[in-house]
Amino acid sequence: MKEPEVFISADEIADRIAELGRQIADDYAGRELILVCVLKGSMPFFVDLSRAISLPLVWDYMAVSSYGAGTESSGRVKFVADLGENIEGRDVLVVEDIVDTGRTAKYLMGVLGARNPASLRFITLLDKPSRRVVEISADYVGFEIPDRFVIGYGMDFDQQYRNLPWIGALDGIEE
């Protein structure tokens, strides 16, 4: 396995999540939020973020897959598992690990928006705006990053590295 270099440290991630949690708690004060984890990549971010939001909230998850074994999005999004909750009339915040081409986020927001939630917003830990193919912007962004392939803190290359507690960059990986 190729050795990644540290790109965003565990401390930097924790500090940014504390800020995001406070901001979300302010924005949704007095409401009950459904926080949606998009499996698998956003699991660590989802758990840490949810514990940084001091509001009553409900956990739910869905699974989609867009990547094959490489680093380039296939352009197709496959629905793998649906939410358990009925989101109609409720406040929904979708939690993603990274927005790259934007296809996954656009697809998810379309599917969930059609179910008439009271509100629907989107948070991503990382955003690579220079890679965008479809128009979508997150309501909350942890870090805007340049076009590098990153792994760790939930994110994978070929299903590996998800368990790293920090975010690393893998350069020279075949696209």
Kindly list the residues in this chain that would bind ligand IMP in the complex (CB under 6 A). Answer: 41, 66-67, 73, 96-105, 149-151, 155
- Is 15 catalytic? The answer is no
- Candidates 35, 37, 38, 41: give the one binding Mg ion (CB under 5 A): 41
Per-residue tokens: 64: 């989609």
Q: Rule CB under 5 A: say whether 154 interacts with Mg ion.
A: no
Q: For Mg ion, which stretch binds (CB under 5 A), given 3-11, 35-43, 46-54, 146-154?
A: 35-43
Distance CA 148, CA 169 (A): 7
- CA distances to 17, 61, 88, 158 from 92, rounded to whole Å, are 18, 11, 9, 30
Q: What is the residue whose two structure tokens read 């401390």?
A: 11
> Which of ligand IMP, Mg ion, none interacts with 98 (beta carbon under 5 to 8 A by kind)?
ligand IMP
Between 55 and 151, CB nearer to ligand IMP: 151
Using alpha carbons, list the distances in angstroms from residue 112 to 53, 72, 116, 168: 22, 25, 8, 31
* Catalytic, out of 48, 97, 100, 127: 100
44 binds Mg ion (CB under 5 A): no
Name which of 32 and 158 has its Cβ closer to Mg ion. 158
Closest residue to Mg ion, based on beta-carbon distance: 41
CA angle 34, 144, 174 (to 5 degrees): 105
Q: By C-beta, is 88 or 135 nearer to ligand IMP?
A: 135
114 Cβ neighbours under 8 A, 6+ residues apart? none
- When CB distances are held under 5 to 8 angstroms depending on the partner's kind, the choice from ligand IMP, Mg ion, none that residue 149 binds is ligand IMP
In what order do the strands lie in the sheet containing 91-99?
73-81, 57-67, 33-39, 91-99, 119-127, 140-144
| Closer by beta carbon to ligand IMP, 56 or else 68 | 68
> What residues are labeled active site?
100
